[in-house]
Structure 1
Amino acid sequence: MDDFQVDVLVVGAGNAAACAALAARETGASVAMLEAAPEEERGGNSTYTAGAMRVVFHGVDDLVQLYDLTEDEKRDVDFGSYTADQYLDDMGRVTNYRCDPELTDILIGRSFETMKWMRSKGVRFQPSYGRQAFKVNGKYKFWGGLAVEAWGGGPGLVDLEHKAAVKAGIPIHYETAAVSLIEEDGVVRGVIARHKGRKVKIGAKAVVLACGGFESNAEMRTRYLGPTWDLAKVRGTRFNTGAGINMALAIGAKPHGNWSGSHAVGWDMNAPEFGDLDVGDNFQKHSYPLGIMVNANGLRFVDEGADFRNYTYAKYGAVILSQPQQFAWQIFDSKVLDKLRDEYRIKRMTKVRADTIEELAKKLEGVDEQQFLKTIKEWNAAVMTEVPFNPAIKDGRGTRGLAVPKTNWANTIDQGPFEAYAVTCGLTFTFGGLKITNEGEVEGSDGHVIPGLFAAGELVGGLFYHNYPGGTGLVSGAVLGKLAGDGAGKYAAGKN
């Protein structure tokens, strides 16, 4: 690979990067993308996602602009709606009202139009029946504000975005990792990259950094997230090492956001250290609201039913990591086994099954057997069985008198067979990153923009603090990617 020059260089090849590249190309700029991974591992964390996308919609009339529905689906499925006010409330509530107000307004206000734009580029979407809808009285009802997912999940999304890039004449250079920015007189002029061990100089009128956070870097995780985070599994790519953040900070970019925070979930205890594309996101175990979780001491430690899964799963991984020996077991009885999500049916998982609770207790490796049985006895006595169980709403079926209460979806654990699944912490992405303007430009620590430098995706800080509403990552990547790409293309043309 020889040195080359391009108008807009996009560092990264996931969803945010692809949207940035396509938007920049629309301005007439010549565009290239750099992907640190080999082609078979392309797409960053986007490839490892389930593909859920949180978007403002006001009913079926909006949804049919994103995906096709049959007349039966329009009539018989309760898709609900998800307004901008609900989106804003969810963002504020789960981040303790720390989310950057301007970025949040951009995310929400442009979510629907950006997804329509993606569809115009050949990206396909579909209803998220498998993970975001329960059948109630014979009718599917969507819950938690999520009714849209990428067709084919993350791999399908990346595949279609890359096909769109190729169609638009955008080359993707694989195994080419950017290592530093080229800066002349305070203006970014390109990057120095390594392609299969060889240094390459790539000149550009504008650079868009969209190459992820630092979740795959154990040293940075420990430095910023804290002790034991070097022990966390990484759900996605091994290539998100914080390189884009570090090269921007090296020339004076302003750090922004929740640097000690991350998106982390319950993840199979024996999953590999990094994501496995053969399994995708199925090492996750997200039906915990239907059961209970116990730690090595045989004790519950969290309210499994505090809210819909969409609003708790991204913070409960950190809670699991803080438990003795960094693991927990999810416990279910036969009353809910048919409602467990698809990831509970794969072959590669840490699962035990028993006909009696006493037999199950003996199979829970690493758990205090007697305390577990005591926990189950106290749990069963505390469940408010007089309240009807309904997994499609916050049903208020909780517990009474427990040190750690459960707010919704509590069921006695007393009917075999019983199943249990061992989980640890699976880290998805980190929340700290770079400060950007409303045009996607990277701000410097002096308060001025760094000319020629733009950013999008996970390495942008300020949107998420402490927690995250499910399905927001891909949409924020797309919205901010399109924003940065459009800004970079216009900057390269001298229109800014």
Structure 2
Amino acid sequence: MPTTSSSCVYDCIVVGSGNAGSCAALSAKDSGCARVLIVDKCSPDWVGGNGYFTAGAHRTVHDGLHDLLPIVCNVEAGSNLASKIDMDPYTAADFTNDILRLGDGRSDPALVRTVVENSRETIQWLHDRVNMSFTFSFNRQAYLVDGRQKFWGGMVLSTEEGGKGVIAAHQAALKEAGIEVWFDTPVTELITEEAVILASGGYEASRALRGKYLGSEWEQAKVRGTPHNTGDGMTLAQAVGARLTGDFTGCHSTCWDFDAPDDTGDRQLSNQYTKSGYTLGIMINADGMRFVDEGEDFRNYTYAKFGKEVLKQPGGFAWQVWDSRTTPWLRKEEYSDDVVRKVWADSVEELAEKLAADGLWNTTQFLNTMKSYNDAVAAFSQESASTKWDPAVKDGLSTQSSAKQLLLPKSNWALPISSPPFLAVKITCGITFTFGGLAIDPETAGVLLDKTGKSIPGLFCTGELVGGLFYGNYPGGSGLTAGAVFGRKAGIEAGKVGQ
């Protein structure tokens, strides 16, 4: 039985105080574990792992507006607001296809199926058991178009206060359930005579492991969340023969504020350092060149991979650029004056001069890129005058026409950047979590032995530490959902260990 001293014996010990670990602990308590303990090497001020730094987004299968109205707290059924919401159902096939297509078909089908098929039930459990305050994510996943709130990208749920609200709800539920939480308590060795659940995150906060697995350039990436996710769970599990699996060259990385701290997230601003407004403009590197198709897909299908592309650029940074047409559409929590340093200019030439003082190496190429982009947008507009800009759909408004085509297109939402004032924001790469991790049984969340492929008795895993689910990219909102799904399963199985 997991033991911490001669006088303290527990039925289940969970390593990690984040969303996944908290779900596991509550599930274990409800499944017959009389004494459950959470341990975390962080101080109480850092409770919550990376879940604290999220926007609280939860992706789930649902049948449309009527299905989710009963669990949200910011829209009432039958209200005027509810009557103005456009929300398509999000099916199991949609969710499955999104994970598989973004991972180029490499994701473990059994893991994907488990997350997808259990997503809606788990969201309900979070609402009922954890008292999670879900909201419709108007600020992140909907645009007000023609008087209607149009949701896009398959993901509609968030939480009050984002990740901070997620962890606050968990802490209250843990306290009510009588589950102890010990901070400043690193785990040095695993004894799996009964139930241990690993939920200690990936290795994204370790420069050394980022360099080892992702490449030396990743040592310079900024850490978006907790500084305590340094791969401890992998080390502990490998010591008892666990199998590693998944994408050890991949991670969730996003466009991040250049001026954010290097090796840790900010507990106050947390997710506000994200800079996801690139679909409304363009991104240009220090050589004055664009380097991604900013309109390739909806933001929540590209933001987790575009940070990697920024890191590849000269100096590991770039700028996002807009004009007066689109700056009003930027999310205030990410782009308000008290969050980000802004560069304003009344002409493109003035903008180039100002950016030259901030690291732009080639102002001539910058001006050429802006002109080529605007010329391509104008040519498309002349040829396809009926195509209208609509940020809530893939509108097909692009830079590609029979008269002019860019080598690197902008496939949707391509408006000219020609109306002053112009705005630029400097960005870099922020790493969120790593994709490689431990191999688990999808049905039990049991950690698998490397030699035999069988489950290690009494050892379970959930959260970012699970390998094989995401490859290269992921659909936004899937991480919290997956952590809760496998956390619940791990807790249920932990309840069976001592029986």
TM-score range, shorter chain: over 0.9
The two structures have a TM-score, normalised by structure 2, of: 0.93
Instruction: Determine which of 266, 269, 286 is the counterpart of 1:276.
Output: 266
Q: CA deviation at 1:373?
A: 0.5
- 1:222-269 CA distances to partner (integer Å, 9 max, x unpaired)? 000112100000100000000011110111100011011000000011
SS in 2 for 1:102: helix
Letter of the 1:98 counterpart: R
Q: 1:166 and 2:175 equivalent?
A: yes
Q: CA deviation at 1:66?
A: 2.1
SS in 1 for 2:271: coil
SS in 2 for 1:476: helix
Match of 1:439 in 2: 444
Q: CA deviation at 1:346?
A: 4.5
Aligned counterparts of 2:81 and 2:59: Cα–Cα separation in 1: 20
Match of 1:95 in 2: 103
Q: 1:338 and 2:328 equivalent?
A: yes
Q: CA deviation at 1:490?
A: 1.5
- 1:74-94 CA distances to partner (integer Å, 9 max, x unpaired)? 211112221111111111110
Q: 1:153 and 2:157 equivalent?
A: no
Q: 1:455 and 2:461 equivalent?
A: yes
SS in 2 for 1:104: helix
Match of 2:251 in 1: 262
Query: Which portions of structure 1, spanning 4 or more consecutive aligned residues, are displaced by more than 4 angstroms?
Result: none
Q: 1:206 and 2:185 equivalent?
A: no
Q: CA deviation at 1:72?
A: 1.8
Q: 1:35 and 2:40 equivalent?
A: yes
Q: Is the 8 A contact 1:12 1:35 kept in 2?
A: yes
Match of 1:197 in 2: none
Aligned residues: 473
Q: Is the 8 A contact 2:150 2:392 kept in 1?
A: yes
- 1:169-201 CA distances to partner (integer Å, 9 max, x unpaired)? 10111111212212xxxxx13xxxxxxxxxxxx
Matches within 5 A, 1:59-458: 59-68=64-73, 69-70=75-76, 71-121=79-129, 122-182=131-191, 188-189=192-193, 205-273=194-262, 274-342=264-332, 343-364=334-355, 365-367=358-360, 368-383=362-377, 384-385=380-381, 386=385, 387-400=387-400, 401-437=405-441, 438-446=443-451, 447-458=453-464
Aligned counterparts of 1:346 and 1:165: Cα–Cα separation in 2: 37
Letter of the 1:350 counterpart: R
Q: Is the 8 A contact 1:234 1:426 kept in 2?
A: yes
Unpaired runs of at least 5, structure 2: none
Aligned counterparts of 1:346 and 1:176: Cα–Cα separation in 2: 39
Instruction: Determine which of 472, 475, 488 is the counterpart of 1:469.
Output: 475
Q: CA deviation at 1:73?
A: 2.7
Aligned counterparts of 2:96 and 2:165: Cα–Cα separation in 1: 28
Aligned counterparts of 1:480 and 1:320: Cα–Cα separation in 2: 32
CA RMSD, Structure 1 to Structure 2 (Å): 1.1
Q: Is the 8 A contact 1:134 1:391 kept in 2?
A: yes
Aligned counterparts of 1:226 and 1:294: Cα–Cα separation in 2: 23
Aligned counterparts of 2:185 and 2:67: Cα–Cα separation in 1: 40
Q: CA deviation at 1:488?
A: 1.2
Aligned counterparts of 2:340 and 2:69: Cα–Cα separation in 1: 37
Q: Is the 8 A contact 1:269 1:350 kept in 2?
A: no
Q: CA deviation at 1:350?
A: 3.0
Unpaired runs of at least 5, structure 1: 183-187, 190-204
Q: 1:14 and 2:18 equivalent?
A: yes
Q: CA deviation at 1:369?
A: 1.0
Q: Is the 8 A contact 1:65 1:116 kept in 2?
A: no
- 1:44-81 CA distances to partner (integer Å, 9 max, x unpaired)? 00000011110111112210232143222321111222
SS in 2 for 1:53: coil
Letter of the 2:295 counterpart: G
- 1:268-302 CA distances to partner (integer Å, 9 max, x unpaired)? 11110110011111111001011000111000011
Q: Is the 8 A contact 1:266 1:284 kept in 2?
A: yes
Q: CA deviation at 1:216?
A: 0.4
SS in 2 for 1:228: helix
